[in-house]
Every structure is written in C-alpha cells, then in structure tokens.
Amino acid sequence: MIGAWVRRLAWRPLEAAFRRTPLVPLRAQVTEPVPGVLCIRIDNLVTKAVSRLGGGYDYSVSYVIDRALIVDTGFPWARQCLDQTLKRLGMGAAITAVVNTHHHEDHVGNNDLFAATTALYAHPLALAEIRYPSERAWYRNFMFGPPTSSRARPIPETVSTGERIFTVLHTPGHSPDHVCLYEPSEGWLFSGDLYIAADIDSQLREVDGPAWIRSLEQVIALRPRCLFDAHGLTLTDAESVEEILTRKRDFLLGLQGRVREAEATARSLAEVVAFVFDQKSAVNHLSFHDGWLALLTGSDMSRTHLVRSFLAQETDETQHHHGQPQ
C-alpha cells in the first residue's frame, strides 16, 4: 500500500518528465550498413552505462528499409529524437508499415508515432500486450520509459517494401511472440533480440531456453549473409553472422548441459542455479549466483528464469517418456 502511494505521488510524475524531457543527453546516429537499409541508433547515458555491465542493450534502434518499412520503434524515451530524425530524413510520411519483432517496450515504445497512418504488424501472441501493456517493474520505466499503447494487427507470412519481400520467421525463446524478418535473395536477417549478446544469461520470466536454441538453429540453417540486431549490432558478411549466432547457440547449449548435470545432486532450484553459475565473484555471492541484473531489478531479470526454462523442458520430456505405451 505504501509502495503504491509512493509510486503514484513521486515516481509517476518522474516517469512523465523523463518521457517529455529526458534527464540524460540523447544523440541519434544514422548509418546505412547496406544500400536500402538505414539504422537509426539513439543512445541514452543511463542505458549505455547499465549495458556495459550486462551487455546488449546499448541503443534504441529502428531500421528503415527502402524508406517504406520500419523494424521496431525503440525505447519510449527516444520518441522525440526518433520523430525529429525521421522528419529530417524526409520520410515521416513515407513509412507504409511497421514490424515489431516482439512486445517488449524497447521495441514497441514509439508505435504511436505511426499507428494512424501505417500498417502495424506483430505476432498474434504480442497483440494484446501491445494494446494493453501490463504493469512493468519500476526499473523498466526508468531505463526504457513508460509503456505506450497501440493497436497492431497479426503479421502475415511475408511483408513487402515494394522492392523486397521478407519472410516472417517465428523465433520464440527470448519471448514467446518473437519474430525475425528474412530476405532470402539478399540474405538479410532482421534478428530482433534473437542475439542481443552471446553470453547474456539474465532474462525475464517468459524466457524459453530450449525454444531459443531451436530458433537459433532454424536461422543458422538459412545461412544469412547480413544481420541487423535490434540493439545496434550490424554485420554484413556471412562468416561473422554464422560465428555470433553459433556462439549464442553454443552458450545456451552449455547452460542446458550444466542444468542436466546439476539435476543429479541438486535439491532445489537455487542449488541448480548455484551449480550452473559457479563463478567466484562478489556479485555472484551477493546475488546468490543469480547475477548482477537480479540485484538491480529485484529478480525481474535473472538467471533463475533461464535455468527454470531448461528444467521445464526436462520435466516435459520425462512426462512424455513415461506416458508412452510400453
């Protein structure tokens, strides 16, 4: 009760102030990693500082393809900067479609800039959350900005810019509603948060490690030649793309193997986490092996969620095995 009143009287006005006039400098960088693709990266000192510790969330990023299609609309705090950048580039009214790779607020935060004039697409599992955002943990409102509401429609099997046709790939793992866009003739992969960083181990409760591995294997098999990550990494040679996606997959496979090892002796979920993440460090001990992001976010993002998803797979497989006719 007291916490609710504190949020209402103190935090909510700050949220509104951060969105209208962020308290840290913003800067938009526009690059063209390949002809036809513009990458708009907007930085925020707080987000970049936190990312140095956790990795992967350095920028609010939107990709503009053929001056017609936008992939992800970025952090809510980047709204004014994104709007000004698009107008400066002369393409505010030229955008005909927006694709959200998933429902997290750092990917849908500025949908309302486009919703009145463009087709806004997302996976069906994302639609309700984009329309009616759930209550977020306090740190997400601070780092990303307050969630905004917009009305998306189910994404079709392909999305066209008029010049190129993209295949929509359902790639769950980071979230159940995650999608990537793939253009086969160019080998372009707009990967959302499929990658983020090779070794980031703290995730939200909805993470599904086994599904993430399968999604990575699905994409690796396509042999994409260019990768456009939703937080600013762009790679334009096939060897580098395969290397980082394989590294990510192997990292998750390694965790999965450690979880299976731990099950032989562990008596609790906490013991499994301690076995899997047994590094000797102050942060590891302070967080009970759950990682510094668990300390920072009150365990909203934690290693435990990822470990639990691997354990859930083991339970499902065991039940399936015992349910088979002999």
246 with 284, same domain: the answer is no
What is the distance, to the nearest Å, from the Cα of residue 75 to the centroid of all Cα atoms in its chain? 11
Split into its structural domains, the chain has a count of 2
**Is residue 4 situated within a structural domain?**
no
CB 220 within 8 A of CB 249: yes
Which of 204-208, 243-247, 271-275, 295-299 has the highest average model confidence (pLDDT)?
243-247
Of the candidates 236, 257, 278, which is a domain's last residue?
Answer: 257
Helices (H), the chain: 2-6, 12-20, 45-54, 79-88, 105-108, 127-131, 138-143, 209-222, 238-262, 269-276, 282-286, 292-297, 303-322
Q: Which amino acid is at 326?
A: Q
**Dihedral-angle region of residue 156 (phi above 0 means left; psi in -120 to 50 means alpha; beta otherwise):** beta
pLDDT band at 325 (very low <50, low <70, confident <90, very high): very low
Phi, psi of 222 (to 5 degrees): -75, -15
196 and 299 part of one domain: no
**Residue 271 and residue 170 share a domain:** no
Give me the pLDDT at residue 69, please: 98
Q: What is the percent of the chain with per-residue pLDDT over 90, rounded to a whole number?
A: 59
Determine, yes or no, domain membership for 1. no
Give the chain's largest Cα–Cα span. Answer: 68
Instruction: Say if residues 132 and 149 touch (Cβ distance below 8 Å).
Output: yes
User: Binning pLDDT at 50, 70 and 90, where does residue 107 land?
Assistant: very high
Arithmetic mean of pLDDT over the chain: 85
Residue 7 lies in a domain: no
| End position of a domain, from candidates 257, 288, 313 | 257
* Tens of pLDDT, residues 50-82: 666 555 566 889 999 999 999 999 988 889 899
- Residue 184's domain comprises 13-257
30 and 140 in a single domain? The answer is yes
pLDDT band at 260 (very low <50, low <70, confident <90, very high): very high
Please check whether residues 172 and 243 belong to one and the same domain: yes
The strand pair at 59-65 and 97-99 is best described as unpaired
19 lies in the same domain as 77: yes
Where is the domain boundary, 257, 280, 296?
A: 257
Per-residue model confidence as pLDDT tens digits over 200-214: 888 889 999 999 999
Rounded-to-integer distance, Cα 47 and Cα 24, Å = 10
